[in-house]
C-alpha cells in the first residue's frame, strides 16, 4: 500500500507536468488556431482536466499513505511540503473556474511541481509519530494550514504573473532586478533538485572525519562533491576529494555545500538563459503574457489572499493554539515556529490594510504577494531546519 | 465646523467626499470616486483641534495601524534570532549563556533584553497601541458608515454615476421595463429599491461589517491575554509524583489529590512496526511512542468530622498522556516530564565480626524509605539504630560542610548510629557511620559491626504540570468572533448596481467592495436580458493608457 501511494505521487507529478504543457500550448497556440478560423483553443480545458486529475491522484496518494502509516501524512518535511504543493493545486482547481485564466495555470502548475520536487529531496520513508504528534489535531491543524498557505501561494503565482506582464524590461531598474532574483531562486531550486537527484542516482557518498562543535571526533557524509569541507575534515572514503576550504565547527558544512551547489547550478541555468537570449529571463516570458488583463490578475491575487487569509488564520493560529493548549499546556509559547506563523499572519493583515488605499493595488501589491510567499517558505524551510524549536521535525 | 452644502440642498459635515444624500462628489479626487466609507466624513476628518482629537486622529489612521502591525512583525522576528530565555537549557545562567553560545551578537541580544522580548515593556506597549488603534479606527468608521449605508438614496447625482469604476451610458430610446429588470435582479438575490424609474440593487451589505466584527474579536482576544496578569486568573504549577504516591493539587485549596499508580515510557519496536522499520533504523536511537501516567483523582470527603483523618474519595481514573490531560473543574494535569529509576528504598542488614569471622545478624534487617525515612529502629534482640542525619542529595558546600542540594534522593547519604544491646543510647556513643551508594565509612572508632546495604529499590517519577486558565473562555470567545468577522468580510461581498434614467439618458453604474469580477458578471447577465448600455471598467482604461506608453518600447524588442 505504501508503495502504491508513492507511485500515485509520481503519476500526479507527471499530470501536473501535462497540465503545464497544455496551459503553455493554450497560450502560445492561440494565434495559430485563429488563422484557421477556429477560435476555440481546447488546450486550456485539457490543462484544467489534467490539473484536476493530478489533484485527484495526489489526494489518493495522501489518503493511501494515511491508511498505510496510520496517521495523516503531514508529520515531516517530505510529507508537509508535498501536502503544501497539493494544497496549492487544490486552490488552483477551485479558482480556475471563476476566472478561467490559462495564464494562471501556466504560472501555478510549475510552482506546484517545484514544491513537490523539493519535498522529494527529504527522506520519504514512513516515520512513527512521537507522543506530542499523536493527536487528531495534527491533521486538523496541519491540513488547514497547508490549504491556507496553498491558497496564499496562488496569490504569489498571480503576483509574479502581474509583474512579468507589467514590468518594463527595456530599462535596467530595481524592479527588473527583483523579478530576475525571483527567477534565479526558482532556477536554483530546480538546480538543487536536479543535482541532488543526479548524484543520488549515482550513489555518491564522500565521508569525512572531522571535529564537531563539541570538540569531538565525528563523521559526516556528503552526497554531493565537497566544495567546502567540515572543520578539520579528513576524507575517509574512496569517493570524493579534499576541498580547498574547511568551514568553522559551528556550521553544518554538508548543508552549506548543498546550498553552494544549488547556487552554482542556479547561476549556470540563469546565466545560460540570460546570455543565450540576451534578455532578462522574466522578459522572455513577457511576450507570452501580453494579452493578460492586469486588472484581472491583480484581482485574482487579491482574492487568493482574501480567501487564503482566513483559512491560514484558522489552521495556522487558531487550531494551532487549541492543539498547543492540549499538548503543551499553553496555547501560546513564543516558540519560533509560532512566532513566524504570527509574523505571516501580521504580514498578510498589513497587506489587506495597505490595499485599502488605492496606491497599493497593482504592482506594489504584487510585490507584497511575493514577499508573503517568501515568508511562508522561510517558515517552512529555515525555521524548521535551522532555528530549532519544539516544532522541528527533521 | 462648517457644513458643506451640496447642490441638492443636503448639508454635509466638513470633510465629506461624496454628498451623503445624492452622491455628488464634493471634492475632486480624480477620475474615480473615492467610495471608501461611502465618501462620508469621519470624526477624524471633522475634528482636528484638541489634544484628544489629535490622539484620536493618530490612532484612527490606517497608516498608523499598518505601522503598528509592521513594527510588531519586525520586532517579533528579532526574538527568534536566538532562543528566548525560557528555551535555553535549564540551569544555564542567561547572563553567560548568550555570550558563550552566540558570541558578541548573543551578548548584545541579552543586553538589549531580547532574550525576554515578548514580555518586554515596549513589546507590551506595541500590543496596547494595536488594541487602542483597533478600537478607535473601528469606532471612527463604523458609525458614519452605518449611517451612510442606512440612509442611501436610490437616485444619485450623474456625476456620482460617472465616477464609478463600472459605468455605462447610452441614449434612452425606449422606456425601460423597470419591473422586469428588478425581477431579474431579485433572481440574482439582490435587494432592489425603486424611485422615479431609477433603481438601486444591493447585495451582501452585511459583508461590510466583517472588519468591525473581526476587530471586536481581536480586542476581546487581547483583553483575554491581558487578564492573564491578574492574580487568580492563571495557575501554572508543577508537581513530581512517585509511583504509588498521592500529592495534593495546588490551586484546589487542598480539596483534590492525584495519585500516580504507574508511570511508563513505551518505545516503538522495529519488529512490530514493519512500515516504520527504515525510519527507526536510520534514527539509530529508540523512538518513544508513549509517555503515560496512570493516575487516580481523589477528592477530600466532605463527610467525616473535622480533625479526623482526611478521607479521600475517588473521583476518577485517567491515563494522562501527552495529548490527553486529566481535566476536572477547569484544572488540567499534563504529562510533561518524568524520571525513571529514582532510588526509593534501601534495605540494610548488620554484620558482626567475631573471632575473625563475619556473620550477619539475621534479626537486624530494616528498610529506609528514602523519601520519608523513619529515624529510629529498634529490634527484638536489643539492637537500636538511629539515623542522625540524612542527605537525600549529598553535596559538600563551599564551606566544606556536608549538605543536601534538594529533597530528591539522587545521591542519598545517611549517617547511622548503631547501639548494640549492651549500650544505652542516652549515655553511650554508638558506632557512627556514613552510608550511601558505594560508600560506607565509619565516622568514629571501635566498630564491631558493619551496616551493609542489602537491597535497593527504584521507583519511576512523573512530572505533571497543573494548569488552570480562567482567561480561556474570553480568548475562545474572541477567537470565534474574530473568525466570524473574518469570514463575513472575506467570503461575502457588498455589491451595488445603480440604474438611472435622466434627460433621455440611461446610466448604469456598479460598485463592489471587492470581487469586481462577480459584479461585472451580474451586470453582464442583466445586459443579456435587458436593453442596458454597455459598461466598461474605468480602472482598465487607466491601465490601457499606461500600457500605450510602455508598448512602443516593448515592441522594439519582440
Ligand atoms: C493584527 C491586527 C488586525 C487584523 C488581523 C485586522 C484585520 C482586518 C481585516 C481582515 C480587514 C478587512 C480587510 C478587507 O476586507 O480587505 C480589516 C479592515 C480594516 N482594518 Fe483591520 N485588522 C487589524 C488591525 C487594524 C488596525 C490596528 C487598524 C487601525 C487603523 C485597522 C483598521 C482597519 C480598517 C480601517 C479597515 C477597513 C474597514 C472597512 O473596510 O470598513 N485594522 N482589518
| Across A235-249, A318-332, B538-552, least confident range | B538-552
CB spacing of B279 vs A329 below 8 angstroms: no
Give the whole-angstrom CA distance, residue B139 versus residue B131: 12
Domain stop point among A279, A308, A325: A279
- The number of distinct structural domains making up chain A is 2
| Domain range enclosing A200 | 170-279
The yes-or-no verdict on residue A336 having pLDDT over 80 is yes
DSSP letters along B86-125, please? GGSPTT--HHHHHHHHHHHHHHHHHHTTGGGGGGSHHHHH
The yes-or-no verdict on residue B126 having pLDDT over 90 is yes
The yes-or-no verdict on residue B342 having pLDDT over 80 is yes
- State whether A153 and A44 are in the same domain: yes
Is residue A394 situated within a structural domain?
A: no
Q: Measuring CA to CA, how many Å separate A336 from each of B123, B203, B315?
A: 16, 43, 39
* A307: chain B residues, CB-CB within 8 Å: 490-491
**CATH node for B160-201+493-558:** 3.30.310
- State whether A304 and A217 are in the same domain: no
Domain stop point among A279, A313, A343: A279
Is residue A72 situated within a structural domain?
A: yes
CB spacing of B490 vs A307 below 8 angstroms: yes
Could you say which residues from 235 to 294 on chain A have a Cβ atom under 8 Å away from some Cβ of chain B? 279, 283, 286-287, 293-294
Which of B322, B465, B556 faces A131 most closely, judged by CB atoms? B322
- State whether A223 and A311 are in the same domain: no
Mean pLDDT of B290-300: 88
Give the whole-angstrom CA distance, residue B348 versus residue B350: 7
Is residue A284 situated within a structural domain?
A: no
* B279: chain A residues, CB-CB within 8 Å: 123, 125-128
- State whether A70 and A187 are in the same domain: no
pLDDT of residue B309: 59
pLDDT of residue B302: 67
- Please tell me the distance between residue A203's alpha carbon and the centre of ligand 1 in angstroms: 54
Q: Ligand 1, atom 1: nearest CA belongs to which residue?
A: A346
| Across A82-86, B3-7, B280-284, B441-445, least confident range | B280-284
Q: Which pTM does this prediction carry?
A: 0.89
- Please tell me the distance between residue B200's alpha carbon and the centre of ligand 1 in angstroms: 28
Give the whole-angstrom CA distance, residue A160 versus residue A166: 10
pLDDT of residue A163: 93
Band of pLDDT at residue A48, cut at 50, 70 and 90 = very high
Instruction: Give the list of residues 6+ apart from residue B106 with CB closer than 8 angstroms, or none.
Output: B82, B97, B98, B99, B100
Which of A329, A331, A343 faces B76 most closely, judged by CB atoms? A343
- State whether A78 and A115 are in the same domain: yes
Give the whole-angstrom CA distance, residue A78 versus residue B117: 33
**Nearest atom, ligand 1, residue B61 CA:** 30
Is residue A288 situated within a structural domain?
A: no
The yes-or-no verdict on residue A37 having pLDDT over 80 is no
Domain boundaries, given as residue ranges, for chain B = 1-41, 42-153, 160-201+493-558, 234-341+463-477, 348-456
Band of pLDDT at residue A87, cut at 50, 70 and 90 = very high
pLDDT of residue B556: 31
Mean pLDDT of B78-93: 84
Residue of B67, B74, B77 best to disrupt the A interface, most CBs of A under 10 A: B77
Mean pLDDT of B26-47: 74
- Residue B262 phi, psi (nearest 5): -165, 140
- State whether A205 and A264 are in the same domain: yes
* B289: chain A residues, CB-CB within 8 Å: 128-131
- State whether A227 and A333 are in the same domain: no
Cell matching residue A109: 502548475
pLDDT of residue A1: 80
pLDDT in tens, B437-495: 888 888 888 788 888 888 888 888 888 899 888 999 999 999 999 999 999 999 999 99
Mean pLDDT rounded to a whole number for chain B: 85
pLDDT of residue A119: 92
Residue B407: which H helix or E strand, with range? none
Residue B331: which H helix or E strand, with range? strand B331-354
**Which residues partner with B320 through β-bridges?**
B293
- State whether A156 and A299 are in the same domain: yes
Which of A164, A189, A147 is closest to A376 using CA atoms?
Answer: A147
CB spacing of A343 vs B73 below 8 angstroms: yes
Q: Residue B515: helix, strand or coil by DSSP? A: coil
pLDDT in tens, A242-269: 777 777 777 777 788 888 888 999 999 9
Band of pLDDT at residue B310, cut at 50, 70 and 90 = low
Could you say which residues from 86 to 105 on chain A have a Cβ atom under 8 Å away from some Cβ of chain B? 98-99
Q: Ligand 1, atom 43: nearest CA belongs to which residue?
A: B211
pLDDT of residue B304: 53
* A–B interface: beta-carbon pairs under 8 A: 147
CB spacing of B516 vs A357 below 8 angstroms: no
pLDDT of residue A261: 87
Buried b (16+ CB within 10 A) or exposed e, B512-548: bbbbbbbbbebbeebeeebebbebebbbeebbeeeee
Which of A222, A269, A227 is closest to A245 using CA atoms?
Answer: A227
Q: Can you say how many angstroms the Cα of residue A273 is from the centroid of all Cα atoms in its chain?
A: 22
Q: Which residue has 490527553 as its cell numbers?
A: B324
Q: Can you say how many angstroms the Cα of residue B382 is from the centroid of all Cα atoms in its chain?
A: 65
Domain stop point among A279, A309, A338: A279
- State whether A220 and A81 are in the same domain: no
Instruction: Give the list of residues 6+ apart from residue A292 with CB closer than 8 angstroms, or none.
Output: A101, A103, A161, A165
Is residue A285 situated within a structural domain?
A: no
The yes-or-no verdict on residue A345 having pLDDT over 90 is yes
3-state secondary structure labels for all residues of chain A? CHHHHHHHHHHHHHHHHHHHHHHHHHHHCHHHHHHCCCCCCCHHHHHHHHHHHHHHHHHHHHHHHHHHHCCCCCCCHHHHHHHHHHHHHHHHHHHHHHHCCHHHHHHHHHHHHHHHHHHCCCCCCCCCCCHHHCCHHHHHHHHHHHHHHHHHHHHHHHHHHHHHHHCCCCCCCHHHHHHHHHHHHHHHHHHHHHHHHHHHHCCCCEEEEEECCCCCEEEEEECCCCCEECCCCEECCCCCCCCCEECCCCCCHHHHHHHHHHHHHHHHHHHHHHHHHCCCHHHHHHHHHCCCCHHHHHHHHHHHHHHHHHHHHHHHHHHHHHHHHHHCCCCCCCCHHHHHHHHHHHHHHHHHHHCCCHHHCCHHHHHHHHHHHHHHHHHHHHHHHCCCCCCCCC
pLDDT of residue B234: 87
Band of pLDDT at residue B547, cut at 50, 70 and 90 = low
The yes-or-no verdict on residue B8 having pLDDT over 90 is no
Is residue A306 situated within a structural domain?
A: yes
- State whether A100 and A186 are in the same domain: no
- State whether A153 and A180 are in the same domain: no
Cell matching residue B255: 480539596
| Across A77-81, A127-131, B191-195, B466-470, least confident range | A127-131
Predicted complex ipTM: 0.91
The yes-or-no verdict on residue B216 having pLDDT over 90 is yes
Q: Which residue has 539509530 as its cell numbers?
A: B284
Q: Measuring CA to CA, how many Å separate B505 from each of A135, B172, B502, B538?
A: 66, 5, 5, 19
Mean pLDDT of A134-159: 93
Cell matching residue B391: 542527605
- State whether A56 and A193 are in the same domain: no
Which residues approach ligand 1 with their CB closer than 6 A? A 346, 349, 352-353, 356; B 62, 65, 68-69, 130, 133-134, 137, 141, 211, 214-215, 218, 486, 489
Amino acid at each position: 500500500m505504501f508503495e502504491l501511494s508513492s507511485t500515485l505521487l509520481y503519476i500526479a507529478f507527471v499530470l501536473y507536468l501535462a497540465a503545464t504543457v497544455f496551459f503553455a500550448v493554450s497560450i502560445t497556440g492561440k494565434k495559430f488556431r485563429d488563422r484557421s478560423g477556429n477560435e476555440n483553443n481546447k488546450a486550456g480545458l485539457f490543462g484544467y482536466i489534467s490539473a484536476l486529475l493530478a489533484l485527484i491522484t495526489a489526494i489518493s496518494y495522501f489518503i493511501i499513505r494515511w491508511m498505510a502509516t496510520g496517521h495523516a501524512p503531514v508529520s515531516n518535511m517530505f510529507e508537509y511540503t508535498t501536502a503544501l504543493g497539493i494544497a496549492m493545486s487544490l486552490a488552483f482547481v477551485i479558482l480556475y473556474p471563476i476566472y478561467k485564466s490559462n495564464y494562471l495555470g501556466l504560472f501555478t502548475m510549475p510552482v506546484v511541481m517545484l514544491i513537490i520536487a523539493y519535498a522529494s529531496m527529504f527522506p520519504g520513508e514512513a516515520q512513527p509519530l512521537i507522543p506530542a504528534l499523536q493527536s487528531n489535531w495534527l491533521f486538523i491543524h496541519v491540513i488547514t494550514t497547508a490549504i491556507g498557505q496553498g491558497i496564499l501561494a496562488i496569490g504569489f503565482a498571480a503576483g509574479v504573473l502581474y509583474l512579468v506582464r507589467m514590468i518594463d524590461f527595456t530599462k535596467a531598474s530595481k524592479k527588473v532586478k527583483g523579478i530576475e532574483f525571483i527567477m534565479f531562486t526558482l532556477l536554483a531550486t530546480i538546480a538543487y533538485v536536479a543535482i541532488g537527484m543526479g548524484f543520488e542516482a549515482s550513489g555518491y557518498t564522500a565521508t569525512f572525519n572531522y571535529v564537531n562543535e563539541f570538540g569531538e571526533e565525528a563523521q559526516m557524509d556528503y552526497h554531493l562533491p565537497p566544495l567546502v569541507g567540515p572543520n578539520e575534515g579528513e576524507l575517509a572514503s574512496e569517493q570524493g576529494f579534499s576541498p580547498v576550504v574547511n568551514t568553522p565547527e559551528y556550521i553544518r558544512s554538508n548543508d552549506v555545500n548543498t546550498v553552494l551547489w544549488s547556487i552554482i547550478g542556479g547561476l549556470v541555468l540563469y546565466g545560460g538563459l540570460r546570455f543565450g537570449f540576451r534578455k532578462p529571463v522574466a522578459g522572455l516570458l513577457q511576450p507570452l503574457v501580453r494579452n493578460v488583463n492586469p486588472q484581472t490578475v491583480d484581482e485574482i491575487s487579491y482574492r487568493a489572499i482574501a480567501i487564503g487569509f482566513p483559512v491560514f488564520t484558522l489552521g495556522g493560529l487558531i487550531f494551532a493554539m487549541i492543539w498547543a493548549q492540549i499538548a503543551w499546556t499553553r496555547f501560546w509559547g513564543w516558540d519560533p515556529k509560532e512566532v513566524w506563523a504570527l509574523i505571516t499572519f501580521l504580514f498578510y493583515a498589513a497587506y489587506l490594510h495597505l490595499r485599502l488605499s488605492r496606491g497599493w493595488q497593482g504592482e506594489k501589491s504584487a510585490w507584497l504577494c511575493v514577499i508573503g510567499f517568501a515568508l511562508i517558505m522561510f517558515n517552512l524551510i529555515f525555521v524548521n531546519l535551522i532555528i530549532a524549536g519544539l516544532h522541528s521535525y527533521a | 465646523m462648517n457644513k458643506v452644502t451640496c447642490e441638492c440642498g443636503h448639508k454635509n459635515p466638513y470633510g465629506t467626499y461624496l454628498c451623503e444624500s445624492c452622491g455628488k462628489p464634493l471634492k475632486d479626487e480624480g477620475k474615480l470616486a473615492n467610495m471608501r466609507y461611502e465618501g462620508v466624513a469621519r470624526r477624524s476628518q471633522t475634528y482636528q483641534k484638541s489634544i484628544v482629537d489629535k490622539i484620536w486622529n493618530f490612532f484612527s489612521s490606517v497608516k498608523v495601524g499598518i505601522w503598528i502591525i509592521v513594527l510588531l512583525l519586525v520586532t517579533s522576528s528579532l526574538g527568534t534570532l536566538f532562543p528566548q530565555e525560557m528555551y535555553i537549557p535549564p540551569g544555564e545562567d542567561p547572563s553567560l549563556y548568550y555570550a558563550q553560545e552566540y558570541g558578541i551578537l548573543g551578548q548584545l541580544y541579552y543586553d538589549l533584553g531580547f532574550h525576554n522580548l515578548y514580555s518586554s515593556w515596549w513589546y507590551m506597549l506595541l500590543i496596547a497601541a494595536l488594541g487602542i488603534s483597533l478600537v478607535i479606527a473601528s469606532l471612527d468608521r463604523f458609525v458614519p458608515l452605518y449611517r451612510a449605508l442606512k440612509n442611501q438614496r436610490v437616485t444619485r447625482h450623474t456625476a456620482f454615476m460617472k465616477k464609478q469604476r463600472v459605468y455605462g451610458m447610452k441614449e434612452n430610446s425606449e422606456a425601460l421595463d423597470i419591473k422586469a429588470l428588478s425581477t431579474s435582479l431579485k433572481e440574482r438575490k439582490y435587494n432592489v429599491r425603486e424611485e422615479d424609474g431609477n433603481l438601486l440593487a444591493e447585495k451582501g451589505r452585511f459583508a461590510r461589517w466583517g472588519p468591525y466584527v473581526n476587530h471586536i474579536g481581536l480586542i476581546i482576544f487581547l483583553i483575554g491575554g491581558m487578564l492573564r496578569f491578574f492574580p487568580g486568573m492563571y495557575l501554572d504549577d508543577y508537581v513530581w509524583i512517585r509511583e504509588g504516591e498521592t500529592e495534593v493539587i495546588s490551586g484546589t485549596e487542598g480539596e483534590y489529590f492525584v495519585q500516580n499508580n504507574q508511570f511508563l515510557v513505551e518505545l516503538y519496536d522495529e519488529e512490530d512496526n514493519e512500515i516504520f522499520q527504515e525510519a527507526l533504523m536510520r534514527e539509530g536511537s529508540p523512538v518513544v511512542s508513549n509517555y503515560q501516567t496512570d493516575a487516580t483523582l481523589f477528592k477530600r470527603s466532605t463527610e467525616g468530622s473535622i480533625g479526623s483523618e482526611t478521607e479521600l474519595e475517588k473521583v476518577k481514573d485517567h491515563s494522562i498522556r501527552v495529548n490527553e490531560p486529566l481535566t476536572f473543574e477547569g484544572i488540567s494535569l499534563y504529562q510533561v516530564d518524568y524520571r525513571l529509576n529514582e532510588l526509593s528504598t534501601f534495605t540494610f542488614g548488620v554484620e558482626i565480626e567475631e573471632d575473625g569471622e563475619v556473620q550477619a545478624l539475621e534479626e537486624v534487617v530494616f528498610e529506609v524509605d528514602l523519601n520519608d525515612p523513619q529515624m529510629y529502629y529498634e529490634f527484638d534482640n536489643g539492637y537500636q539504630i538511629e539515623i542522625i542525619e540524612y542527605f537525600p542529595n549529598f553535596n559538600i558546600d563551599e564551606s566544606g560542610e556536608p549538605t543536601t542540594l534538594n529533597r530528591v534522593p539522587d545521591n542519598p547519604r545517611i549517617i547511622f548510629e548503631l547501639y548494640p544491646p549492651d549500650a544505652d543510647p542516652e549515655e553511650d556513643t554508638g558506632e557512627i557511620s556514613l552510608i550511601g551508594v558505594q560508600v560506607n565509612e565509619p565516622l568514629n572508632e571501635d566498630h564491631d559491626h558493619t551496616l551493609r546495604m542489602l537491597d535497593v529499590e527504584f521507583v519511576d517519577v512523573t512530572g505533571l504540570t497543573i494548569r488552570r486558565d480562567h482567561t480561556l473562555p474570553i480568548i475562545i470567545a474572541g477567537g470565534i468572533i474574530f473568525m466570524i468577522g473574518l469570514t463575513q468580510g472575506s467570503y461575502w461581498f457588498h455589491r451595488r448596481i445603480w440604474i438611472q434614467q435622466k434627460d433621455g439618458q440611461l446610466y448604469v453604474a456598479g460598485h463592489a467592495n471587492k470581487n469586481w469580477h462577480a459584479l461585472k458578471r451580474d451586470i453582464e447577465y442583466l445586459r443579456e436580458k435587458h436593453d442596458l448600455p454597455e459598461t466598461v471598467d474605468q480602472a482598465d482604461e487607466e491601465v490601457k493608457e499606461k500600457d500605450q506608453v510602455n508598448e512602443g518600447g516593448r515592441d522594439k524588442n519582440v
